[in-house]
Structure 1
């Protein structure tokens, strides 16, 4: 009869055999396996160093390209927009590069001889679906008498408010006087948390550059992005289309403009506005747009070239 002691001895023998087999197998394969692993580690290390070198080189080249664009900007832009008043409109996004793009474009506009009348930031609260009714009430209560009759009568708060802001901030001809009640309108929207203001904004702009951040995200992203496009449309309508939309990429608002045939034929776009190249392109695109031509520039989908080909010949007047 097999007793418990026999089972214990048998199990011990089995485990001992397994242990001896592992030791012998490891010892036999240790040399080739270790060499193979070392070769793979060395290869990965070399590839990592090469990638780091490539990244450093790419960053260096981008910096040189940016420096080059900054240096040639005066030659490309000098006296291209004398006497023009340009408003910057930022569509607030999650990417802080919007501020970098706006600052760079403002500098390029000044190089071109234009005056930046100020900056209006359309905040996320403005584009939220929950703000629709409140914005409609605000537009109806703050619109000056001379403008209220010209606002859209469709019950859409964001569109009505965009039309009102455009009416008090821009004019289709240089030198037009400021609309009575402009400051009260801007203060009402600013105090409500719908916009931020910078600059004196005392002179109506005869051209606009919209700087678009990253596209909206979340459950109401589609509605928010639609409001951004509607805002562009309303400003373009008030300006007779002397407008450029400059985005950080071809996604979001730039893509929406390019995909809308009715807007794309009258509003120019630039999709790399965070770079000096894109900032130069945005101003050149505005020069071209004032001259009556429309184009789409940058490096993303829908762009036809980096820069307007006819901008250097445009009069800018």
Structure 2
């Protein structure tokens, strides 16, 4: 943590000015040399403290500059080593992304998957946590839904959305939800995929609806024997990792970083587990000295079984 001494320096300068005025006034009015000498001694001490603070501030600033340089070097290094580390790891893999956090993800994630040889077939964004407020009656009419309670309807819509991502048979439903601003659709739907990436984590607790939205979708994908990879960024206020791990899927909790993206690629390539920097992670990333090769169908098996990760 960088300490800012500017406030202390400003305070000392103010004290200097007050002392200076005191010396002048005291000498003129009282003519008391003892008072003037005492004030001078205090001013000298304060000057020493001010100089000490200046030196400490310079040292802290120099340290901050050094850390910034080191950080930039590390980022450059990571960007240079990532492409050869992931190259060909996911050749031919077709993936779908479900964005459950509602606020987006960084383009470099898709770039990393592409560098590894994978194709992102579709990106489906859940908006407002499928909040039915002001939309329920319209959806019932447009989609011919039963007038059930909100939670049951949200679970149904989540399951049907997952079905539409895989089969393409629910295009009307997907388009209707998009028009109602409950979904954002991008890419090709109904195209076979080898795995699903769920992007979770939230800055708004009101949008945390893993049991209502994420779980029904995950259950459908798991029934289709598709591996799921749950990811989020490091600085989310509300983590989904613990909830995702209840479904025995692989997780990466720092996916905005190069180590996190490398861990995700290795997960998909056949090294399932829980990776990242949070308490829910078991390791930062999979060992680099082991060959992957497991294929898409092994993604969830390893998490609950062979790897021993719970």
TM-score of the superposed pair, with normalisation by structure 1: 0.69
**1:126 and 2:129 are equivalent in the alignment:** yes
CA distance in 2, matches of 1:250, 1:303: 15
* Shift in alpha-carbon separation, 1:259–1:202, aligned structure 2, 3 A: closer
**1:179 and 2:168 are equivalent in the alignment:** yes
Task: Name the SS for the 1:81 alignment partner.
Answer: coil
CA distance in 2, matches of 1:22, 1:77: 82
Which residue is equivalent to 1:211? 199
CA distance in 2, matches of 1:311, 1:251: 31
CA distance in 2, matches of 1:41, 1:194: 59
Task: Name the SS for the 2:111 alignment partner.
Answer: helix
CA RMSD of aligned residues (A): 3.6
Residues 99 and 198, structure 2, Cα contact 8 Å, conserved in 1 = yes
Structure number with greater CO (CA < 8 Å, separation at least 6) is 1
Task: Name the SS for the 1:166 alignment partner.
Answer: helix
* Shift in alpha-carbon separation, 1:288–1:44, aligned structure 2, 3 A: farther
CA distance in 1, matches of 2:33, 2:154: 77
- CA shift, 1:155, in A, is 4.8
* Shift in alpha-carbon separation, 1:286–1:180, aligned structure 2, 3 A: same
Residues 139 and 164, structure 1, Cα contact 8 Å, conserved in 2 = no
CA distance in 1, matches of 2:141, 2:289: 41
Gaps of 5+ in 2: 1-24, 296-310
CA distance in 2, matches of 1:228, 1:107: 27
* Shift in alpha-carbon separation, 1:161–1:60, aligned structure 2, 3 A: farther
Task: Name the SS for the 1:45 alignment partner.
Answer: helix
Match of 1:275 among 251, 257, 260: 257
Which residue is equivalent to 1:192? 180
Residues 76 and 312, structure 1, Cα contact 8 Å, conserved in 2 = no
- CA shift, 1:267, in A, is 1.8
Which residue is equivalent to 1:296? 274
Number of residue-to-residue matches in the alignment: 267
- CA shift, 1:89, in A, is 2.4
Residues 82 and 113, structure 1, Cα contact 8 Å, conserved in 2 = yes
- CA shift, 1:193, in A, is 1.0
Residues 246 and 269, structure 1, Cα contact 8 Å, conserved in 2 = yes
Residues 229 and 256, structure 1, Cα contact 8 Å, conserved in 2 = no
Q: Deviations over 1:177-229 (max 9, x none)?
A: x33232x222111111112223334524331222335431xxxx2x521x145
* Shift in alpha-carbon separation, 1:235–1:53, aligned structure 2, 3 A: farther
CA distance in 1, matches of 2:77, 2:214: 31
CA distance in 1, matches of 2:65, 2:98: 34
Residues 297 and 303, structure 1, Cα contact 8 Å, conserved in 2 = yes
Residues 298 and 305, structure 1, Cα contact 8 Å, conserved in 2 = yes
Residues 296 and 305, structure 1, Cα contact 8 Å, conserved in 2 = yes
Matches within 5 A, 1:153-172: 155-170=151-166
**1:106 and 2:106 are equivalent in the alignment:** no
- CA shift, 1:109, in A, is 1.0
Gaps of 5+ in 1: 1-15, 171-177
CA distance in 2, matches of 1:237, 1:141: 26
Which residue is equivalent to 1:77? 86
Task: Name the SS for the 1:156 alignment partner.
Answer: helix
Which residue is equivalent to 1:138? 139
Task: Name the SS for the 1:89 alignment partner.
Answer: strand
* Shift in alpha-carbon separation, 1:229–1:181, aligned structure 2, 3 A: closer
Matches within 5 A, 1:37-48: 37-48=46-57
- CA shift, 1:168, in A, is 1.2
